[in-house]
Amino acid sequence: MPDLFSPFTLKGVTLRNRIVMSPMTMYSSHDGEMDDYHVSYLGARASGGFGLIFPEQIAITPDGRTTTECAGIWSDDQIDGHRRVTDIIKRFGAVPAIQLGHTGRKGSEVAPHKSYPGFPGNSQLPADHPNGWQCIAPSAIPYGGDHSWPVHELTVDEIKALHRKYADAARRALDAGYQWLEMHFAHGYLGAEFFSPIANHRTDQYGGSLENRARFHLEALDAVREVWPDEYPLTMRLGADDLNPAGTQFDDSLVAIGWMKEHGLDLADISLGFNTDEMIDPPMGREAFMVEKTNRVRTQLQIPVGTSWNLGIPETADQVIRDELVDLVFLGRPALSNPHWPVWAARELGHPTPFELVPDDWRWWLENFRGYDASIGLPPAAEPSARLRSA
């Protein structure tokens, strides 16, 4: 029976545990580049015991960013910064992963903690603003609300060019040392827009039927698969449900993920579509709310799965792995609040050697601490739970 700290092997890559640092936008890049900030921030999580580590969503083009402060890999000049990140992650025993994406009609934003005159945080800037640009989408339909500036409807030639951009970005990611590649087709970004009838009103081969709306995904997978080595996992974060009767439906996503598996998808990272704010009974405040649907993907399609959303309680994260509901647990905010979350979780769950997750020199000091134990900086090691003792 696996648990949260069991190794996980996918293709030619083995993770030391099932704990993933989920991509989280940091708004700390200049010209899309990774720098000392990212080395420090991501290295801390690698030394803290995470098995797989993603930076934020990495844009395949400049207009694929959320803000001008977001990271990218559209230029060979950006490879060295990414290589510094992958080097530090590997040094501390984790596997470096990259999430490639394009924000589509949700781009050209103001960072949430900043503002410009007339434009508060998280609002969208018009194309003629110095920090804004013309957003693109499958159809000329703005998201709405404070994201209502006109968007450009992509031509078929432009779609084909974007697929080449995905492949170019994947080649750079490989050169930079990444060993796991995920495509971000959720959260209302470009891939999710193509999949959702709310955002996609096209009448050509990329719109209308489920097969047509999934075509963007399948062709992007094909383009990346041509350059991404078969021994390294190729995964996708999919907006599997818009929680709106007019949008993406989960049963349709099940069918489409089956097609994606045939096109080389190795793992499905299941999330929400977020193509509209008009969601029915939004579940964001509920613990582990994506696990049930994620398990349906795993069970019905026989493909490895992962998910995020409110899995930061160690007992919960461990239980969904032990019950074989999901294969990987993705943690975003918990990874930000506690870079040593895996060590803390191991102690909470009564793991016999929690400090094996940190570098060996640190481990020696922590396991051979001679002094007042409560002052070590972590709660006292928990007694193993009855469930762990009986396993």
Distance CA 120, CA 100 (A): 27
Cβ atoms of 237 and 217 closer than 8 Å = no
Which segments of the chain does DSSP mark as H helices, in order? 36-47, 79-91, 156-176, 190-195, 210-213, 215-225, 250-262, 291-301, 314-322, 333-337, 341-348, 360-367, 386-390
Cβ atoms of 24 and 71 closer than 8 Å = no
Residue type, position 19, single letter: I
Would you list the DSSP string of 365-388? HHHT--S-GGGGSSPPPPPPPHHH
Distance CA 163, CA 168 (A): 9
**CB neighbour burial string for 73-106, b if at least 16 within 10 angstroms, e if fewer:** bbeeebbebbbbbbebbeebbbbbbbbbbbbbbb
What the block records as the tokens of 45 is 């999580």
Distance CA 54, CA 184 (A): 12
Long-range contacts of 163-166 (CB under 8 A, 24+ apart): 163/219, 163/220, 163/222, 163/223, 164/223, 165/60, 165/61, 165/74, 166/60, 166/100, 166/220, 166/223, 166/224
Question: What is the set of active-site residues?
Answer: 189
Cβ-based neighbour number of residue 15 at 10 Å: 22
Distance CA 118, CA 130 (A): 14
Residues in the chain: 391
Strand partners, 305: 268
Cβ atoms of 46 and 358 closer than 8 Å = no
| Angle made by CA atoms 113, 118, 124, in degrees to the nearest 5 | 65
